[in-house]
Amino acid sequence: MSEDKDFDNLKELDAVCDECKKEDESVTQNLILTGFKICKSCRVSKTIFPI
Ligand SMILES: [Zn+2]
């Protein structure tokens, strides 16, 4: 059952930023790293994460 749930989540990984609606490969990376579905530009302007 958990595998099915993971598959549903993958279908949402369309790499479109929730903030600016632009498609960017950094959106998927930020979603995995930060939990926010945003591109690198929006990530910088929206929230500062400790490195
Ligand atoms: Zn963006």
* Distance from Cα 21 to the centre of ligand 1, integer Å: 6
Specify the pTM: 0.62
Gap from CA of 2 to ligand 1 centroid (Å): 30
Distance 51 CA to ligand 1 centre (A): 20
Number of Cβ within 10 Å of residue 30's Cβ equals 20
DSSP H helices, 1-51, are 2-11, 25-34, 40-46
Q: How far is the CA of 29 from the centre of ligand 1 (A)?
A: 13
- Residue with token string 């903030």: 19
Contact 42, 31 (CB under 8 A): no
3-state SS, residue 22: coil
The model's pLDDT over 11-48, given as tens digits with 9 standing for 90+, comes to: 555 899 999 999 999 999 999 988 989 999 998 887 66
**How many angstroms separate the alpha carbon of residue 36 from the centre of ligand 1?**
11
